[in-house]
Amino acid sequence: MRGMAELWRRRTRRSVVSRLREANHRPHYVVCGQDALVVQVVKELLKEAVRVTVVVPVRRRAEGPDVRAISGIRVLVADRLDEDTFRAAGLRGAASLALLHQDDVGNIHAALCAQEIEPNIRIVMRMFNMSLGYRVKHLFPDCQVMSDAAMAAPAFVAAALGEVAPTYFRHGGRSLFVARRGDVRPEAVVCGLADLSDPENPALLPPDDSRADLVLAEANGKHPATDLPARRLARLRRRQLMRRPITVVLRALRSFVTRKIGIATLAVLAVVAIAGYLLSHLEPFSSWQAVYLALITTFSGADPEPDRPVAGQIVQIVLTLSGLALIPLITAAVVDGIVNARLVLDRGRLQADREGHIVVIGLGNVGTRVIRQLHDLGFEVVAIDKNPDARGAAIAEQLDIPFIIGDAARSETLRMASVGKAQALVVVTTDDVTNLEAALNAREMTPDLHVVLRLYDNDLAERIQRVFGIGVSRSVSHLAAPTFAAAMLDREVLATLPVERELLLVAEVTVAANSPLVGQPIVKVNHPHLVRVIAYAGSHESRPDWTPRRQQRLAAGDRLTVVAPKVGLNWLLRRITPPSSNPDRAG
């Protein structure tokens, strides 16, 4: 028995040592940051059976998930991303570094420090100012600059307008975009993306292309903006612009006098009317003569008439006093009305009593891009944020967009933004609780309001849609994380295509020598709901063939352009990689 126990201990030790050696040979990735995007990127990386080190600040943000709760990763706590921190994180020899803090300048400084430790490391940098990012990326030998806000904002804008997300990309000499099947010519369709007959459960990449309501299409002309859905958005914009002059004039008329001045004026006029009625019965005057005498007495006064009956004298005194009150009221109403009308006509909107506008709650990275895009499309926007110094506050002022500083979860704040008359409500703060409370309060005020809600938790979002009837809910991190992870893994992801709460990736993959797909026909790659090949290029061909033969045999070096969900892309990658270099991957 003792010998058996010793043998078992030796085998266990060998197993542990072999696993440690295998782990040390797995690629190592370093991720810096602490928010929802970091959590999703780390989860995507862990599906690839790699080692992940996450550098987090000492203080974590109050809202959002905690990346430290994920098992299977190494966590390093450090506030400064300098050479010492990167040495401690094991950056030397790492495959890639992701700098995902919401601080453009800080990420640039960290990238420069990382280059001192590992000059040729692949850097994936999160940036809000993409103009600065494109200039900075040339400072590094291998750098990808990406913006999760830029990826997600078009999806929120399209959802608010009830349109397909305006996703465009160019590949192989073609401009491709996502559209409804009815919006494009049949010959322009490249492949079907989703069957939306059941909105709560869209069928991605259906077996029968003709059943797909959402398609990937080739754009006509030199730029996809000449095609739909851009034309649909342009029509919406024209309708808004056509309605705007009429709306502005009506609002100017409604705002000509304030409520208090209007009530006071009506009260005095009522007194004048009553006095005129009494004159017609006290004196031998006709109705017109009584009205005439009442108005003249009110505005110009009258000479004393001692011989007049007492009742007539009383009416005359009342009319004279009414005149003293009415003339200042009319003057105030004219001045106030001119000022209000000029404000309305000059600014094209009224601070109160709006309608047909879009309310955006949260002026962070995503909200800032959303208000800018909606403004560029010609829609009236009202912004709300509890922080007067929010990132988008300056943009709202620059674009002359009304900015309400307040807690969006409070009904009073929503009423100030005239949510009851809004076309849509877009809630994009980084706090799920605030977002949900604001959405539910707005729905309570206006049950049929179109709400676009940002939620981190995918399962929670689906339940909210089902239970509360909030039609659209999206997660920025779910939309952007696959692209960030693919960039870290050095995969050629050309575009991400949001479909409801699902995501499709467009990628170009290369068939490796001795991989299982070598010698197989292209038809073996296509799998319903999993992978769809849309283009093929031989190893010596620069441009892909967009109508490849189904029986075309694959060879080492051939390139396939595919559309697939994340699980489908992982499935394909296992089959284009030699078995010896293809570790088991989850997901």
CB 561 within 8 A of CB 174: no
Residue 33's pLDDT is what?
A: 93
Residue 570's pLDDT is what?
A: 84
CB 512 within 8 A of CB 498: no
| 3 state SS for 48-67 | CCCEEEEEECCCCCCCCCCH
Structure token digits, residue 261: 């001045």
Provide the whole-model pTM: 0.66
Higher pLDDT, 307 or 126: 126
558 pLDDT higher than 90: yes
For the residues 545-557, what does the mean pLDDT come to? Answer: 90
For the residues 186-196, what does the mean pLDDT come to? Answer: 89
Mean predicted lDDT score pLDDT of the chain = 78
Pairing status of strand 122-126 against strand 28-32: unpaired
Is the omega angle on the peptide bond into residue 229 within 30 degrees of 0, that is, cis? yes
Residue 158's pLDDT is what?
A: 81
Residue 181's pLDDT is what?
A: 87
How many angstroms separate the CA atoms of 178 and 149, rounded?
19
Residue 541's pLDDT is what?
A: 86
How many angstroms separate the CA atoms of 554 and 537, rounded?
10
The 8-class DSSP code of residue 493 comes to E
Which residues fall within 8 angstroms of residue 562, CB to CB, at 6 or more apart?
506, 507, 508, 509, 525, 531, 532, 533, 534, 568, 569, 572
For the residues 370-383, what does the mean pLDDT come to? Answer: 87
Residue 356's pLDDT is what?
A: 81
How many angstroms separate the CA atoms of 383 and 404, rounded?
6
Residue 230's pLDDT is what?
A: 47
Nearest to 517 by CA among 579, 565, 567: 579
CB 123 within 8 A of CB 95: no
Residue 260's pLDDT is what?
A: 62
Q: What percent of the chain has pLDDT over 70?
A: 68
pLDDT confidence band for 350 (50 / 70 / 90): very low
pLDDT in tens, 485-513: 888 987 778 888 888 767 888 988 999 88
pLDDT in tens, 148-183: 888 888 888 888 887 776 677 778 888 888 888 888
For the residues 143-152, what does the mean pLDDT come to? Answer: 87
Residue 48's pLDDT is what?
A: 81
pLDDT in tens, 88-113: 999 999 999 999 998 899 999 999 99
